[in-house]
Structure 1
Amino acid sequence: MSNSHIFMPSGFIRTPLQNGLGRYIPQLQRITLKFCKNHGGSRGVRDFIESDLMDFAKSNPGTVVYLKPRRHRSPCAVAEYLNGEREYLSLHEFTRDEVQKWLSYMRTRSGIPTMRFRKYQHTDYPTIQGVWNPFTHQAAEINTAEFPHEDLSKPVNLAPSATEQLIEIFKRSQITDSKEKPDN
């Protein structure tokens, strides 16, 4: 097990409140691509700008894209999110596809810094069985069944409910009362 998580900040899960309840609001506010027009380490960024940047901008109208050419500097991307966080990514010697994948990654993030999550509960003996859910002990054939299904639609023989048992007891008592009552 790695100990690299020791130096990460820790905290509880925070999400943008109710994002996606009415409509989804992308959290990436703006992205700045800084690159050199001549340097070889910026080739992938320049190729991305020439071929894929317009498609990226059209598919993400809520995100502002800035291009900032700089002389003799390594390429990078700076993403700014709605919560005020900034993320810096060096794009030195990345290919066009790698730049596209990293921009897609930045676009889908919430902007909350990567952190080690804490839990409100603690146990010295964690379970190895997994989390229980209502489908844990269901039959496996339900997963692949086409509904309506003949065998799965058959009524299950259930024990009578408490109400049905009381009605039955009442009917029996009515019968025994009528037999015990003498006729005049």
Structure 2
Amino acid sequence: MNAFKFTLKWAVISGAVLIVHRIALLVLEMDKAREVLVQQILLFLISIVVTSIIAIYRYKKANNSSLTLKKALQIGFLITIITTVLITIYDAVFLIIIEPDYYQSYYELNWDAELEHYISLNPEERTEETFQAFVKERNIDHFKRVAPALLLYGTISNLIISLIAGLIMRTKQHKIKN
């Protein structure tokens, strides 16, 4: 059975769950709350981990109870990559077409907390003026920072989970003795 075709369905489900969550936050006007960014990252990690475990189990079941550790890792890695690509495409459409001033309005709502955090990271070099320049570049900066971070954290966490799931669910190869 082709692992890529099998995994694609589960990765699209994972990406769809995350996109529906983001759209729900947008509709409920909760998308600019400071805590939401952390929640979205946690939901991303939970989504790819749960989807990977289910996909590995289903792959084993569909493959006559045969699963190698390599296939389990491959499924987990593919789910992470495809889900991250889907989220990045959604972010691009959202930040470039739908709401290009998203970060500007986000920082207006959370100005004091974000400014305090920004300056606390490097008090000698960071001021309110440099923070304003940072906010203006944030939409472009989003793709340079967020997508690679999701890919890195997602890949590391999902490879660990896929390794554990693969070790638990794999089938042992019985050697024939002559």
- TM-score (ref. length: structure 2): 0.22
Higher relative contact order (CA 8 A, sep 6+): 2
Kindly indicate which of the two structures has a greater share of residues assigned to helix: 2
- For the pair shown, the structure with the greater C-alpha radius of gyration is 1
Q: TM-score by structure 1 length?
A: 0.21
- Greater per-residue strand proportion: 1
